[in-house]
Amino acid sequence: MSPAYRLLLCDLRSDRLLDALPVHGVALDDYIGKTGSLRGRVPIPNRGIADRARRALVPGRTGVWVERGREIWWGGILWTTSLASDQRGFVGVDVQCGGWESYLFRRHLHDTQEAAQVDQFDIVRGLLDYVQNTPGGNLGITYDTQVSGVLRDRTYLRYDLPTVGDLIDDLAAVEDGFEWRIASYRDGDGRRVKRLQLGHPVIRTGTADIVLDHPGAVLSYTWPTDATRKANAWQSRGASINQNQAAESFPLMSELLVADDDVTAGWPRLDGTSDYTTVERQGTLDAHARADWTAARHPVEIPEVEVLLGGNVSPALLGATVRLRIRDLWHPTTLDARYRVVGLTIAPAERGRPETARLYLEVPE
């Protein structure tokens, strides 16, 4: 029998435990490079639970930790609730939460920040310090001091009112960038931890490959290939370079990048573009363009495999490497390759359906 899920509901700023309530119909996901989410229903069987839920479920003010058994499997912020009653009179509160990262997309930069030849990880930590040093802004997110070895020059102007989350995403997406997320877990002393995780060029966890076989541990798989965003020619736009308001304004443009080898190999010319309206330096814009062009060169493949939960399959797999082996009609010669887990969605057991996880895999280039 699968362990039950429950919500640990805490004051968002202090992490003081307010209550612990059961949750049904849990659907949670977590990703590298994308904010995770949680949905579920807190059942209200009696007036006592109703009073407790009313006090603890305060959107925008309540921190949520998802506990499976005694393990922390997810953490984030309660953003919306919806009280619902069905035709039989059963009452519940539907909750929707976003991962801790979602807070950084709700915080704007109101003071100009400058960095000259600063490691990109230190720029991120400086932005997090800016958020957490403002009154009411400290959520207790911790970090380490490792560096990436990549130095950046950045000026973030308060006039642009960017969100801190967008600034971190833009910095991560530049050429020779990095990945970031905020992980949730219990430390060795049993304390709940929110920790900024940075990886250059990517986040990697674990040391030993986890082997997944189909037929076997892999119940099903999907292997989409999407060329709608493929581009072998690319140019990016930056900020306006004309400071004279009386004259016609033009944006800063990156170099035009064209993959001649792609066209020679028979591919049609496919154009792509991106906008960086706050970027005023040519070198920075060119680095963004090269990173976007590199990412767009190949059709997007994100294989998905559905596996049973338990054992070594848990949210701790994010960033880990799995060895996937598939033998079927499409793969008469067994596919045997390694992939990095970049996302997962968890579906708890319901009405005879086993507890499963859908893993999203990164195809190595």
Q: Domain limits of the chain?
A: 5-99, 104-199, 210-224+302-362, 233-296
pTM, to two decimals = 0.91
Could you tell me which residues are beta bridge partners of residue 314? none
- CATH class of the structural domain 210-224+302-362: mainly beta
Token digits of residue 311? 């054992």
Are 318 and 288 a contacting pair, CB within 8 Å? no
pLDDT score for 249:
77
| pLDDT the model gives residue 135 | 97
Over the chain (365 residues), what is each successive 10-residue block's mean pLDDT? 84 97 92 96 96 97 94 96 91 97 98 96 98 98 97 93 96 96 94 97 88 93 94 94 69 95 95 92 94 92 91 88 95 94 89 88 85
| Angstrom distance (rounded) from CA 77 to CA 298 | 36
The residues, any chain, with a CB within 8 Å of residue 159's CB and separated by 6 or more, are: none
Cis peptide before 135 (omega within 30 of 0): no
Structure tokens that stand for 275 in this block: 């906008």
Closest by CA to 78, choosing from 4, 9, 167, 23, is: 9
pLDDT of residue 137: 97
Write 13-22 long-range contacts (CB < 8 A, 24+).
Answer: 13/136, 13/138, 13/139, 15/63, 15/140, 15/192, 18/55, 18/56, 18/62, 19/52, 19/53, 19/55, 19/56, 20/67, 21/49, 21/52, 21/53, 21/56
Query: Is 98 within 8 Å of 79 (Cβ atoms)?
Result: yes
Query: Which of 297, 320, 291, 292 shows the shortest CA–CA distance to 307?
Result: 320
What number of other Cβ atoms are within 10 A of residue 36's Cβ?
Answer: 26
Fold match between domain 5-99 and domain 210-224+302-362: yes
Q: Which fold has domain 5-99?
A: Phage tail proteins - horseshoe like beta roll fold (2.30.300)
Angle of helix 120-132 relative to helix 164-173, nearest 10 degrees, comes to 170
Overall fold of domain 104-199: Phage tail protein beta-alpha-beta fold (3.55.50)
CA distance 249 to 13: 45
Contact status, residue 177 vs residue 103, Cβ threshold 8 Å: no
Q: Which pLDDT belongs to residue 28?
A: 93
pLDDT of res. 348: 81
